Each structure stands twice: as C-alpha cells, then as structure tokens.
Amino acid sequence: MSGGDQENRQFLFHDELSALFSQRPTGRGPNDEPSLLDFGLQSVSSPPTSLTDLLHGSTTTTDYGLLARSFGLPMPLDVLGSGGMTVPGDNASNSFTPLSGGGGAATPYSSTSSSSTEAAGEEDGERCKKNQEKREEEVENQLVTGDEEGEMSKKMNKPKKKGEKRQKEPRFAFVTKSEVDHLEDGYRWRKYGQKAVKNSPYPRSYYRCTTQKCPVKKRVERSYQDPTIVITTYEGKHTHQCPATLRGSSHLLAPPPAMSASFFQAELAMAHQMTQQPQFGYTSMAGNLTPPLQQLQFPQDYGLLQDIMPSFFQGSQP
C-alpha cells in the first residue's frame, strides 16, 4: 500500500493537531481559510522518500537545538533535570522514564498538565480509557482464564476500576505532505478501523502495530484544508525493535525495545535532514505560525516530547 512516499513532515503533537484541525471555522468557506501551507508547510519537490529511507540514510544526529529552534523553544537544560531519564552518551541503549503503557509511570508533564492542549489530549485519552482498560483486562482474562470468559468480555463491558484513571498514552503527531495515507515508517501496521471525521471529507484510519503485544497505535487522517497533507498520530511505544532496523543496516540503533528511541530518533534525524535540505520544504514551525498555533502551550508538550524522545534531548546534554 504504502511505498516511496512523498513526504514533507513537520513535528507536531497530537493535541496541537487536534486543535489545529478540528477548529474548522464555521461560516468561512474552505477557500477562505488559511491553508496549512500557510502554517509553514511548503510544497515538496523532492523525490519520494520513505521514513525508513531517511532513517537508514541519515546520520541520526539528534539535535535538540535544531528542533528547539524550529519550535522556537528555549534550550531544555532545566527540563532535562526533571525528566528522570538517563541518557548515557549517544549509545542507542538509552534508558528513560517509561511513558505509561498500561500502568507505566506518568511523566512529570503529563501528570501536571492542565492546559488547553493537554486538556484536548486528556479528553481524547479519557474517551477511550474505558475501552482500553477493558481490552487490557480482556487480554489478561483470555490469557489467564481461557477463551470463554475472554469471549464473554469481548462484547460485554463490565464497568471496572471506576475512578481509576488510565495513564494517557503519549502521542506524537506528524504533519506530512504525502500522496499516500499510510506512510512507511519501518513498522508493520494493521488497519483496524476507519471513521469519518466530523467537518472533514476525509476519513480517519486506525492502525495497530502488528507485532504481538505491541500496544502502539496510530491514526492517519488527511487535512480537510489541504488534502495533500496527512496527519499521522502515534500513540504508545513499541515494545520491540523496528523490523526495518532489524532487517536493514545496523548503524542506526540498537535501542531499547521502545518506539521512543528508535522511531523518534529517526524522525528527528529526518527533521534534521529536512532542515538541511531546503528542497524538503521543512521549515520552522513556530516562525510561521499564525496566532492560534503560536498559542500552543509547548512546555507541556515539550515535556512529552522529552518523554518520547529521550535520545533527542540527549543531544543537548553535555
């Protein structure tokens, strides 16, 4: 399905994207609205490039300063101190604070957040909390008690653990200018659903990592403003290595079985590459933001960023 994808990516956070793409002004026609391109995206003239290609082709130098500049962020030294992660050198086997993932520890940021952007994420997270809890429990039931009860609970939703809040999964979104919806990122995905999106003619597709017990999901949707723009939202962290990485070159990483280290390193590498290759059209986000986007409360998402991309932040660590 996917293949050499024409991409022009920018790093965004899901919540920001939600705000960005859900706030479709009513009373204005699409033609009157600022295109996403107005937000900093430029058209792509580069040849098709898959994420995997970039992943393997880049030097994967994770440069926080670069991204920080892109986002108009301060350097994160103070943040690093509270992250609770250890980032020993540029060895890929970094350790870091678990991102949540079913009882994982909440990050300092996700737990203290109350901003609008966070609220959006929280709301979204809350929404599927029950479902996820249920399913996690179902899996357990099936593993422990056999199929009958598991089968039972498939359709029956027993209210459980009321009041207990499920940790919200870290999410990370990309805006990608691409012809295809499902972009190659080195992992294997199974589509498990598709829904029409309100205020958008384009459906949202739901994918799950096909690796057993890997909880990572991703959503893919097109911008209603610019159909060539694909919004990909990753949720959770991989519990395994990237198949493409395993198959392909080994120079990139031998990271912990987490998406954070490998995948985002790749993404960041790509971002880095893009900034160095103007033909990619990768431009500074913050610098081109219209006020609504500039109002994004970055520090908290920034903490999330730190969480999911520890290797990225290590670049700022002496």
Partner DNA sequence: CGACTTTGACCTGCGC
Partner DNA sequence: GCGCAGGTCAAAGTCG
Shortest CB 203 distance to DNA, Å: 8
In our burial notation (b when 16+ CB lie closer than 10 A, e otherwise), range 65-93 reads ebbbebbebeebeebbeebebebeeeebe
- Cβ closest to DNA, residue 123 vs residue 140: 123
Residue of 84, 149, 180, 188 interacting with DNA (CB under 7 A): 188
**Residue 24 binds DNA (CB under 7 A):** no
Q: Nearest 5°: phi and psi at 215? A: -85, 0
Tell the burial category of 5 from Cβ atoms under 10 Å away from its Cβ (0-12, 13-18, 19+). Answer: buried
CA separation for the pair 200, 24 (Å, rounded): 9
The one among 191, 250, 277, 295 contacting DNA by CB under 7 A? 191
In this structure, the number of other CB atoms found within 10 A of the CB of residue 150 comes to 17
Residue closer to DNA, measured from CB, 191 or 251: 191
Of 177, 231, 176, nearest to 202 by C-alpha is: 231
Name which position in 28, 161, 165, 195 contacts DNA (CB under 7 A). Answer: 195
Return the number of other C-beta atoms located less than 10 Å from residue 158's C-beta: 10
Binding to DNA by residue 182, rule CB under 7 A? yes
Adjacent-strand bridge partners of 232: 174, 220
Give the residue, chosen from 165, 190, 247, 251, that forms a contact with DNA under the rule CB under 7 A.
190
- Site track 205-234 with DNA (rule: CB under 7 A), x = hit: xxxx-x------x-x---------------
By CB under 7 A, the count of residues binding DNA is 38
Residues forming the site for DNA (CB under 7 A): 1, 22, 123-124, 126-132, 134-135, 154-157, 159, 182, 188-198, 204-208, 210, 217, 219
